[in-house]
Protein backbone atom coordinates (compact mmCIF):
# COMPACT_ATOMS: atom_id res chain seq x y z
CA UNK A 1 0.00 0.00 0.00
CA UNK A 2 1.33 3.45 -0.87
CA UNK A 3 1.42 5.45 2.33
CA UNK A 4 1.62 9.02 1.16
CA UNK A 5 1.82 11.47 4.04
CA UNK A 6 0.79 15.10 4.15
CA UNK A 7 2.07 17.41 6.89
CA UNK A 8 0.32 20.74 7.56
CA UNK A 9 2.50 23.64 8.68
CA UNK A 10 2.13 27.41 8.84
CA UNK A 11 4.70 29.77 7.38
CA UNK A 12 7.07 31.61 9.68
CA UNK A 13 8.17 30.42 13.09
CA UNK A 14 6.33 27.08 13.06
CA UNK A 15 7.76 26.12 9.67
CA UNK A 16 11.26 27.27 10.68
CA UNK A 17 11.20 25.53 14.06
CA UNK A 18 9.77 22.30 12.63
CA UNK A 19 12.55 21.95 10.03
CA UNK A 20 15.13 20.54 12.51
CA UNK A 21 12.56 18.01 13.73
CA UNK A 22 11.83 16.92 10.17
CA UNK A 23 15.55 16.65 9.54
CA UNK A 24 15.82 14.31 12.53
CA UNK A 25 13.21 12.15 10.80
CA UNK A 26 15.25 12.26 7.57
CA UNK A 27 12.83 14.64 5.85
CA UNK A 28 14.10 17.75 4.06
CA UNK A 29 11.66 20.26 2.56
CA UNK A 30 13.11 21.11 -0.83
CA UNK A 31 11.35 24.46 -1.41
CA UNK A 32 11.19 27.57 0.75
CA UNK A 33 7.62 28.74 1.48
CA UNK A 34 8.84 32.33 1.86
CA UNK A 35 9.93 32.47 -1.78
CA UNK A 36 7.85 29.76 -3.43
CA UNK A 37 4.24 30.46 -4.30
CA UNK A 38 3.41 26.80 -4.02
CA UNK A 39 1.09 25.73 -1.22
CA UNK A 40 2.09 22.08 -1.57
CA UNK A 41 5.81 21.71 -1.01
CA UNK A 42 7.73 18.59 -1.97
CA UNK A 43 10.34 16.98 0.25
CA UNK A 44 13.29 14.70 -0.39
CA UNK A 45 10.86 11.84 0.31
CA UNK A 46 8.48 11.40 -2.64
CA UNK A 47 5.87 10.05 -0.23
CA UNK A 48 5.88 13.11 2.05
CA UNK A 49 4.42 16.51 1.15
CA UNK A 50 4.10 19.64 3.27
CA UNK A 51 1.08 21.90 2.85
CA UNK A 52 1.28 25.54 3.93
CA UNK A 53 -1.86 26.86 5.64
CA UNK A 54 -2.80 29.61 8.11
CA UNK A 55 -1.68 28.76 11.65
CA UNK A 56 -5.27 28.64 12.87
CA UNK A 57 -6.32 26.35 10.00
CA UNK A 58 -3.80 23.57 10.76
CA UNK A 59 -6.14 21.66 13.16
CA UNK A 60 -8.97 21.81 10.62
CA UNK A 61 -6.91 20.28 7.79
CA UNK A 62 -5.76 17.51 10.11
CA UNK A 63 -9.21 16.93 11.65
CA UNK A 64 -10.73 16.26 8.22
CA UNK A 65 -7.78 14.17 7.05
CA UNK A 66 -6.70 16.59 4.30
CA UNK A 67 -3.40 16.45 6.16
CA UNK A 68 -2.33 13.38 8.13
CA UNK A 69 -0.47 15.40 10.71
CA UNK A 70 0.46 18.98 11.50
CA UNK A 71 2.03 21.36 13.97
CA UNK A 72 -0.16 23.84 15.85
CA UNK A 73 0.17 26.14 18.84
CA UNK A 74 -1.68 25.37 22.07
CA UNK A 75 -3.45 28.73 21.59
CA UNK A 76 -4.84 27.54 18.27
CA UNK A 77 -5.70 24.06 19.55
CA UNK A 78 -7.67 25.42 22.51
CA UNK A 79 -9.79 27.57 20.20
CA UNK A 80 -10.28 24.68 17.75
CA UNK A 81 -11.25 22.23 20.48
CA UNK A 82 -9.07 19.33 19.32
CA UNK A 83 -11.92 17.27 17.85
CA UNK A 84 -10.65 14.36 15.73
CA UNK A 85 -7.07 15.08 16.69
CA UNK A 86 -4.58 12.92 18.48
CA UNK A 87 -2.00 15.12 20.25
CA UNK A 88 0.93 12.87 21.13
CA UNK A 89 3.82 15.31 21.56
CA UNK A 90 4.49 18.76 22.93
CA UNK A 91 7.27 19.79 20.54
CA UNK A 92 8.31 22.68 22.81
CA UNK A 93 8.76 25.01 19.85
CA UNK A 94 7.25 28.46 19.20
CA UNK A 95 7.19 29.06 22.94
CA UNK A 96 5.46 32.11 24.31
CA UNK A 97 2.75 32.92 26.84
CA UNK A 98 -0.83 34.10 26.71
CA UNK A 99 -1.34 37.22 28.78
CA UNK A 100 -3.66 40.06 29.62
CA UNK A 101 -2.20 43.48 28.80
CA UNK A 102 -3.49 47.02 29.29
CA UNK A 103 -2.34 50.57 28.53
CA UNK A 104 0.43 51.68 30.90
CA UNK A 105 -1.89 54.31 32.40
CA UNK A 106 -4.81 51.97 33.06
CA UNK A 107 -5.25 50.77 36.65
CA UNK A 108 -6.35 47.18 36.00
CA UNK A 109 -6.28 46.12 39.66
CA UNK A 110 -8.56 48.92 40.80
CA UNK A 111 -10.90 48.42 37.83
CA UNK A 112 -11.30 44.80 38.97
CA UNK A 113 -11.76 45.83 42.60
CA UNK A 114 -14.53 48.20 41.57
CA UNK A 115 -16.17 45.45 39.56
CA UNK A 116 -15.96 47.46 36.34
CA UNK A 117 -17.17 45.64 33.25
CA UNK A 118 -14.10 45.63 31.03
CA UNK A 119 -13.94 45.46 27.27
CA UNK A 120 -11.33 42.96 26.17
CA UNK A 121 -10.11 42.57 22.58
CA UNK A 122 -8.68 39.23 21.50
CA UNK A 123 -8.31 36.62 18.82
CA UNK A 124 -8.74 33.95 21.52
CA UNK A 125 -12.40 34.18 22.53
CA UNK A 126 -12.74 30.78 24.21
CA UNK A 127 -9.53 30.99 26.20
CA UNK A 128 -10.24 34.58 27.24
CA UNK A 129 -13.85 33.77 28.22
CA UNK A 130 -12.67 30.90 30.38
CA UNK A 131 -9.93 32.95 32.02
CA UNK A 132 -12.22 35.79 33.08
CA UNK A 133 -15.00 33.42 34.12
CA UNK A 134 -12.53 31.64 36.40
CA UNK A 135 -11.70 35.01 37.97
CA UNK A 136 -15.39 35.81 38.30
CA UNK A 137 -14.99 38.91 36.11
CA UNK A 138 -17.65 40.13 33.73
CA UNK A 139 -16.09 41.23 30.46
CA UNK A 140 -17.29 42.10 26.99
CA UNK A 141 -15.11 40.30 24.50
CA UNK A 142 -14.35 41.87 21.13
CA UNK A 143 -13.08 39.50 18.45
CA UNK A 144 -10.08 40.73 16.46
CA UNK A 145 -7.98 38.88 13.90
CA UNK A 146 -4.66 40.64 14.48
CA UNK A 147 -2.82 43.72 15.80
CA UNK A 148 -4.56 43.36 19.17
CA UNK A 149 -2.02 45.83 20.65
CA UNK A 150 -3.75 48.65 18.85
CA UNK A 151 -7.12 48.19 20.55
CA UNK A 152 -6.34 49.82 23.94
CA UNK A 153 -4.47 52.67 22.23
CA UNK A 154 -7.48 53.82 20.23
CA UNK A 155 -10.17 53.13 22.83
CA UNK A 156 -11.58 49.97 21.29
CA UNK A 157 -10.86 47.98 24.45
CA UNK A 158 -9.59 48.36 28.03
CA UNK A 159 -7.46 45.24 27.80
CA UNK A 160 -6.24 42.62 25.35
CA UNK A 161 -5.58 38.90 25.60
CA UNK A 162 -2.66 38.09 23.34
CA UNK A 163 0.54 36.11 22.95
CA UNK A 164 3.72 37.61 24.37
CA UNK A 165 7.27 36.39 24.02
CA UNK A 166 9.84 39.12 24.69
CA UNK A 167 7.29 41.82 25.51
CA UNK A 168 8.92 44.07 22.91
CA UNK A 169 5.71 44.74 20.99
CA UNK A 170 3.86 45.59 24.21
CA UNK A 171 6.60 47.98 25.32
CA UNK A 172 6.75 49.62 21.91
CA UNK A 173 3.04 50.38 22.23
CA UNK A 174 3.11 51.50 25.86
CA UNK A 175 1.23 48.44 27.10
CA UNK A 176 1.94 46.41 30.24
CA UNK A 177 1.33 42.76 30.95
CA UNK A 178 -0.94 42.42 33.98
CA UNK A 179 -1.83 38.71 34.01
CA UNK A 180 -0.15 35.56 32.79
CA UNK A 181 -2.87 33.18 31.58
CA UNK A 182 -0.82 30.20 30.39
CA UNK A 183 2.40 29.09 28.76
CA UNK A 184 2.10 28.26 25.07
CA UNK A 185 4.09 25.93 22.84
CA UNK A 186 3.33 23.97 19.70
CA UNK A 187 2.14 20.38 19.53
CA UNK A 188 2.19 17.70 16.94
CA UNK A 189 -1.38 16.82 15.95
CA UNK A 190 -2.28 13.65 14.09
CA UNK A 191 -5.50 12.66 12.33
CA UNK A 192 -7.00 9.82 14.34
CA UNK A 193 -7.84 7.66 11.32
CA UNK A 194 -4.40 8.24 9.74
CA UNK A 195 -2.77 7.16 12.97
CA UNK A 196 -4.44 3.76 12.62
CA UNK A 197 -4.21 3.35 8.83
CA UNK A 198 -0.73 4.80 8.34
CA UNK A 199 0.85 3.87 11.64
CA UNK A 200 3.75 2.07 10.00
CA UNK A 201 4.77 5.26 8.15
CA UNK A 202 3.86 7.71 10.89
CA UNK A 203 5.32 6.06 13.96
CA UNK A 204 9.02 6.42 13.02
CA UNK A 205 8.44 10.11 12.27
CA UNK A 206 6.62 10.64 15.58
CA UNK A 207 9.45 8.86 17.40
CA UNK A 208 12.09 11.01 15.69
CA UNK A 209 10.13 14.19 16.51
CA UNK A 210 9.76 13.16 20.12
CA UNK A 211 13.45 12.39 20.49
CA UNK A 212 14.59 15.57 18.71
CA UNK A 213 12.19 17.87 20.59
CA UNK A 214 13.33 16.45 23.93
CA UNK A 215 16.91 17.24 22.97
CA UNK A 216 16.34 20.84 21.96
CA UNK A 217 14.16 21.65 24.98
P1 LIG B 1 -1.73 34.37 11.10
O2 LIG B 1 -0.43 34.99 10.70
O3 LIG B 1 -2.21 33.31 10.16
O4 LIG B 1 -2.77 35.36 11.49
P5 LIG B 1 -0.48 33.90 13.57
O6 LIG B 1 -0.07 35.33 13.59
O7 LIG B 1 -1.06 33.33 14.83
O8 LIG B 1 -1.47 33.55 12.40
P9 LIG B 1 2.21 33.06 13.71
O10 LIG B 1 2.58 34.42 14.16
O11 LIG B 1 3.03 32.36 12.70
O12 LIG B 1 0.75 33.03 13.13
O13 LIG B 1 2.08 32.17 15.00
C14 LIG B 1 1.95 30.78 14.89
C15 LIG B 1 1.98 30.19 16.28
O16 LIG B 1 3.23 30.50 16.90
C17 LIG B 1 0.91 30.76 17.22
O18 LIG B 1 -0.28 30.02 17.12
C19 LIG B 1 1.58 30.60 18.57
O20 LIG B 1 1.38 29.30 19.08
C21 LIG B 1 3.05 30.80 18.26
N22 LIG B 1 3.47 32.20 18.48
C23 LIG B 1 2.80 33.31 18.18
N24 LIG B 1 3.48 34.41 18.53
C25 LIG B 1 4.63 33.97 19.08
C26 LIG B 1 5.78 34.61 19.62
N27 LIG B 1 5.86 35.93 19.69
N28 LIG B 1 6.80 33.84 20.05
C29 LIG B 1 6.74 32.52 19.97
N30 LIG B 1 5.67 31.85 19.48
C31 LIG B 1 4.63 32.55 19.03
MG1 LIG C 1 1.60 36.46 13.82
The predicted structure's pLDDT at residue 11:
97
Task: Tell me the per-residue pLDDT of 45-104, one tens digit each, with 9 for 90 and over.
Answer: 999 999 999 999 999 999 999 999 999 999 999 999 999 999 989 999 999 999 999 999
CB 60 within 8 A of CB 108: no
Whether 215 has a pLDDT exceeding 90, the answer reads no
The predicted structure's pLDDT at residue 216:
54
Best CA proximity match to 159, nearest among 121, 125, 132: 121
Query: Relative to the alpha carbon of 11, which ligand is closest?
Result: 1
Closest ligand 1 atom to the C-alpha of 74?
20
The predicted structure's pLDDT at residue 214:
75
The model's confidence at residue 1, banded by pLDDT at 50, 70 and 90, is low
164 alpha carbon – ligand 2 mean position (Å): 11
Query: Relative to the alpha carbon of 79, which ligand is closest?
Result: 1
CB 97 within 8 A of CB 183: yes
b/e burial code for range 120-137 (CB count within 10 A of at least 16 → b) = bbbbbeebbeebbeeeee
Amino acid sequence: MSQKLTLALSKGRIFEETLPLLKAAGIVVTEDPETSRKLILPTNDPLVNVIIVRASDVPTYVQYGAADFGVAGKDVLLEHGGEGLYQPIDLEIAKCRMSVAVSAGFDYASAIRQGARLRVATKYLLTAREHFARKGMHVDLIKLYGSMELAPLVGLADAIVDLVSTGGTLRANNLVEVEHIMDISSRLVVNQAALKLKRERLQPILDAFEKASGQSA
